[in-house]
């Protein structure tokens, strides 16, 4: 089967051959059929070129829940099961994802390959903290079970390994018990980046979830915004909504995301909350997945798409580093959306992204100028002791990767051990010298 694939941004659609294995046997056959280089693909929700290659193994048909222990919340599922599938099955039974990114459409395996984090990293870490065991098909077709005690190097290299160790066939994930589909949310309004950072740090230990939206287009008060804190409600209402997206953005001939529109939009959003503190009860869908309300929202950026720059910097010096990045990127393009979170100190694999500190994600309309600015800003991040998130990256250089991921050589060595012929490759891994 041939299909057009693209990342969410710069990449022109490339025509790829796509295998769609339906079970373990056909997955092995797809890997062994001798066509050379390939990469696993989930729901294609990573923003760059990590799941793009000439030959792709789509794991979407591997979408079966295999077993569930209702006493412990342990779920055994195939890699192509989506987060939305898990919620639909588990929430009515009183269980929820222990960690979730800001969209419910990715697959479990795609989330493991990026070792995704949520709004609760400061407390519990990233998804890997809840994965007990993986079953991975290596490049030679062998199925290798791995865990913290059995082949631990393969287990850890796969978390954050961007599909380069093998194809995750199935996984065992520990869900968290909940008593409601709703969250009790508190929104705090802040007046500056300094106040946003200070309040995020001061409140995070009182709430499992915390995140801030910041306004980057308001001159000297850049970094003012809303902090959204949350905790699961206990009212016994356990209904998933599964709302289909309310709008679908059509293909547009030009970019609609411009500074002239973003400035008043940000001001209205900021002033929309006129009290310093507002407490509400919110369903998990708008709380965790606000962007899922509109399908194909990336089309608002026109044919060139958008670029997200997400980086993490240690707490010490973080504000100065973030100011520098905001200053540099603002000269190149207006930031459409800026989201700030904190990371705690938790174990990661050799290519794990989180480090104790702040993480800032910035969305821009894609232009040559912003690509150049993001590359320069990456050097600012490196100088501050930070790193860029590979699941969102499409522009950094191999030298920058080596400078910011101190365990990258350990990863390269493990990769050679598990895939000596280097058959798992993506556009990203070729660009970054990982394959």
Q: Which of 97, 178, 227, 391 binds ligand FAD (CB under 6 A)?
A: 391
Judged by CB under 6 A, does residue 362 bind ligand FAD? no
- Choose, by CB under 6 A, the member of 18, 162, 370, 434 that binds ligand FAD: 162
Restricting to residues 109-138, name those near ligand FAD by CB under 6 A: 109-111, 113-114, 116-118
Contacts with ligand FAD: how many residues (CB under 6 A)?
32
Measured from the CB atom, is 186 or 293 closer to ligand FAD? 293
Cα separation, 121 vs 117, in Å, equals: 6
Rounded Cα gap, residues 212 and 338, in angstroms: 8
Quick one: which segment of 13-21, 101-109, 175-183, 229-237 binds ligand FAD (CB under 6 A)? 101-109
Does 79 engage in binding with ligand FAD (CB under 6 A)? yes
Least Cβ distance, residue 342 to ligand FAD (angstroms) = 13
What is the DSSP track for 227-294?
Answer: EEEEEE--S-------PPPSEEPPP-SS----HHHHHHHHHHHHHH--SSEEEEEEEHHHHH-GGGGE
Give the residue with the Cβ less far from ligand FAD, 80 or 334. 80
- For residue 404, which of 306, 327, 310, 320 has the smallest C-alpha distance? 310
- Report the residue number, 23 or 191, with the smaller CB distance to ligand FAD: 23
Applying CB under 6 A, which of residues 168, 175, 321, 395 lies at the interface with ligand FAD? 168
Nearer to ligand FAD, 153 or 368 (CB): 153
Cβ 97 to ligand FAD shortest distance, Å: 12
Interaction mask 186-205, ligand FAD, x per CB under 6 A:
--------------------
40 makes contact with ligand FAD (CB under 6 A) = yes
**Residue 51 within binding range of ligand FAD, rule CB under 6 A:** yes
Q: Considering only 42-50, 178-186, 247-255, 402-410, which stretch makes contact with ligand FAD by CB under 6 A?
A: 42-50
Residues with Cβ within 8 Å of residue 365, at least 6 apart in sequence? 255, 257, 258, 301, 302, 304, 306, 307, 333, 334, 336
Centre a 10 Å sphere on the Cβ of residue 236 and count the other Cβ atoms it contains. 10
In DSSP terms, 76 is beta-bridged to 67, 172
427 lies in the site for ligand FAD, by CB under 6 A:
no
Coil, helix or strand at residue 328 = helix
Cβ distance to ligand FAD smaller for residue 165 or 196:
165
Lay out the sheet containing 337-343: strands in order across.
Answer: 277-283, 182-190, 224-232, 209-215, 337-343, 357-365, 306-314, 387-388
* Cβ 123 to ligand FAD shortest distance, Å: 15
> At closest approach, how far in Å is the CB of 376 from ligand FAD?
24
Both tokens of 66, joined, read 């295999």
d(CA 33, CA 26): 10
d(CA 284, CA 240): 8
Candidates 393, 211, 411, 389; CA nearest to 313 is 389
Please state the separation of Cα 172 from the chain's center in Å: 20
Nearer Cβ to ligand FAD (21/240): 21
Stretch that binds ligand FAD, among 34-42, 193-201, 218-226, 316-324 (CB under 6 A): 34-42
Question: Looking only at Cα atoms, what is the longest distance across the chain?
Answer: 63
Query: Which residue in the set 41, 159, 299, 431 belongs to the binding site for ligand FAD (CB under 6 A)?
Result: 41
The least CB distance from residue 237 to ligand FAD, in Å, is 25
Rg for the chain, CA atoms, rounded: 21
User: Which residues have CB under 8 Å from 274's CB, separation 6+?
Assistant: none
Residue corresponding to tokens 């009515």: 92
Shortest distance (Å) from residue 221 CB to ligand FAD: 26
- What is the closest distance, in whole angstroms, from the C-beta atom of residue 156 to ligand FAD in the complex? 14
Q: Enumerate binding residues for ligand FAD (CB under 6 A).
A: 39-46, 50-51, 59, 79, 101-103, 106-107, 109-111, 113-114, 116-118, 162-163, 167-168, 291, 391, 426
């Amino acid at each position: 089967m041939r299909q057009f694939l693209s990342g969410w941004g710069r990449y022109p659609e490339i025509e790829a051959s796509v295998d769609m294995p339906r079970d373990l046997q056909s997955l092995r056959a797809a890997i062994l059929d001798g066509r050379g280089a390939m990469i696993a693909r989930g729901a294609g929700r990573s923003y760059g070129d990590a799941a793009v290659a000439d030959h792709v193994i789509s794991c979407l048909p591997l979408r079966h829940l295999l077993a569930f222990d209702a006493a412990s919340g342990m779920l055994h599922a195939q890699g192509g099961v989506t987060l939305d599938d898990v919620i639909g099955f588990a929430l009515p039974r009183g269980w929820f994802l222990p960690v979730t990114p800001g969209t419910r459409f990715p697959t479990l395996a795609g989330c493991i390959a990026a070792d995704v984090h949520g709004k609760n990293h400061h407390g519990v870490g990233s998804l890997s903290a809840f994965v007990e065991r993986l079953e991975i098909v290596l490049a030679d077709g062998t199925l290798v079970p791995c865990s913290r005690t059995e082949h631990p190097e393969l287990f850890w290299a796969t978390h954050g390994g961007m599909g380069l160790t093998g194809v995750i066939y199935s996984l065992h994930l520990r869900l968290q018990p909940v008593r409601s589909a709703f969250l009790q949310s508190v929104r705090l309004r802040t007046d500056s980046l300094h106040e946003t950072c200070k309040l995020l740090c001061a409140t995070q230990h009182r709430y499992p979830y915390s995140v801030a939206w910041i306004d980057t287009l308001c001159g000297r008060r850049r970094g003012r915004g809303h902090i959204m804190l949350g905790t699961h409600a206990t009212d016994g209402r356990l209904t998933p909504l599964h709302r289909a997206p309310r709008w679908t953005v059509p293909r547009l001939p030009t970019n609609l995301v411009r500074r002239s529109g973003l400035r008043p939009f940000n001001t209205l959003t900021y002033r929309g909350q006129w009290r310093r503190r507002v407490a509400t009860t919110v369903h998990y869908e708008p709380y965790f997945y606000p962007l899922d309300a509109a399908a194909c929202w990336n089309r608002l950026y026109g044919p060139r798409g958008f670029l997200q720059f997400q980086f993490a910097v240690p707490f010490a010096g973080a504000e100065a580093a973030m100011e520098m990045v905001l200053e540099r990127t603002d000269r190149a393009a207006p930031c459409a959306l800026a989201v700030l979170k904190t990371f705690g100190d938790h174990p990661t694999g050799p290519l794990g992204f989180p480090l104790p500190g702040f993480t800032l994600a910035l969305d821009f309309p894609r232009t040559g100028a912003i690509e150049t600015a993001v590359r320069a800003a990456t050097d600012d991040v490196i100088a501050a002791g930070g790193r860029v998130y590979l699941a969102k990256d499409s522009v950094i250089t191999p030298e920058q990767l080596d400078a910011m991921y101190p365990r990258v050589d350990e990863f390269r060595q493990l990769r050679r051990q598990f895939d000596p012929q280097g058959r798992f490759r993506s556009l990203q891994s070729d660009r970054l010298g990982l394959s």
